[in-house]
């Protein structure tokens, strides 16, 4: 016996539309879910790339910090080397003056005067020593005054007897060390003075 559909045709159409809506909704939901997954993976990829870039930049910054520290260390080393070179240069420059200074002291030192300390401060030389008498200290100062590269002696201290009771006078004095230019100027004045004296003498 044949079946007879007793449902009205409108109900059939409504059910069909409902099925189509559910299918369309499922497809839309699936597409939305797929898009959400794609967006999630895209964002995760961007975050991962940014993290990698951040780590790279952090590593480069660390390298730059190390290089900057090395440069600063090199600059400090360079400054120290330049300072040492300047000291060596000054020592080499002053070495002839020191040799000349001690030559002058040896030549000016009279018998009976003994030096115990010599200290140079710029162009000033301070010394301490012992002498058999005050007269020998005075003779020493006169020789310093008449020297070429040293002059202007100044007596700082003199004691007639030292603590060891040796009978020697303890003295301290200072004098100036003349530069080469000043020495040349002194010699020039001496020559000029001699010429003037010679010219002033009447011919016989």
CB neighbourhood size of 138 (10 A): 15
pLDDT per residue over 88-106, tens digit each? 777 676 677 777 878 888 8
Indicate the DSSP class of residue 167: S
pLDDT per position as a tens digit, 129-184: 888 888 888 888 888 888 877 778 888 888 876 555 667 788 898 888 876 554 55
Residue partners of 172: CB distance under 8 A and separation at least 6: 126, 127, 128, 155, 156, 157, 158
The length of the chain is: 204
β-pairing verdict for 169-177 and 150-159:
antiparallel
Token digits of residue 108: 């000016």
Instruction: Record the pTM.
Output: 0.45
- Please tell me the distance from the alpha carbon of residue 45 to that of residue 43, in angstroms, as a whole number: 5
**Domains plus CATH for the chain?**
38-180 (3.30.1360.100)
Among the listed residues 160, 162, 163, 107, the one whose alpha carbon sits nearest the alpha carbon of residue 137:
160
pLDDT, tens digit (0-9, with 9 covering 90-100), for 105-120: 888 888 888 888 888 8
């Amino acid at each position: 016996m044949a079946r007879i559909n007793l449902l009205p045709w409108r109900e059939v159409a409504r059910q069909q539309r409902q099925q189509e809506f559910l299918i369309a909704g499922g497809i839309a939901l699936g597409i939305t879910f797929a898009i959400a997954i794609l967006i999630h993976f895209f964002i995760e990829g961007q975050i991962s790339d940014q993290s990698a870039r951040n780590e790279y930049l952090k590593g480069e910054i660390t390298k730059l910090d190390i290089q900057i520290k090395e440069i600063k260390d090199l600059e400090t080393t360079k400054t120290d080397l330049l300072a040492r070179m300047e000291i060596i240069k000054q020592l080499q420059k002053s070495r002839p003056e020191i040799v000349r200074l001690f030559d002058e002291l040896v030549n000016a030192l009279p018998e009976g005067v003994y030096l115990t300390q010599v200290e140079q401060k710029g162009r000033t030389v301070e010394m301490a020593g012992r002498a058999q008498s005050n007269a020998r200290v005075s003779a020493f100062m006169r020789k310093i005054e008449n020297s070429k590269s040293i002059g202007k002696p100044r007596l700082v201290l003199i004691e007639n007897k030292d603590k060891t009771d040796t009978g020697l006078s303890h003295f301290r004095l200072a004098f100036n060390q003349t530069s080469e230019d000043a020495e040349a100027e002194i010699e020039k004045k001496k020559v000029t003075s001699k010429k003037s004296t010679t010219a002033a003498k009447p011919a016989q």
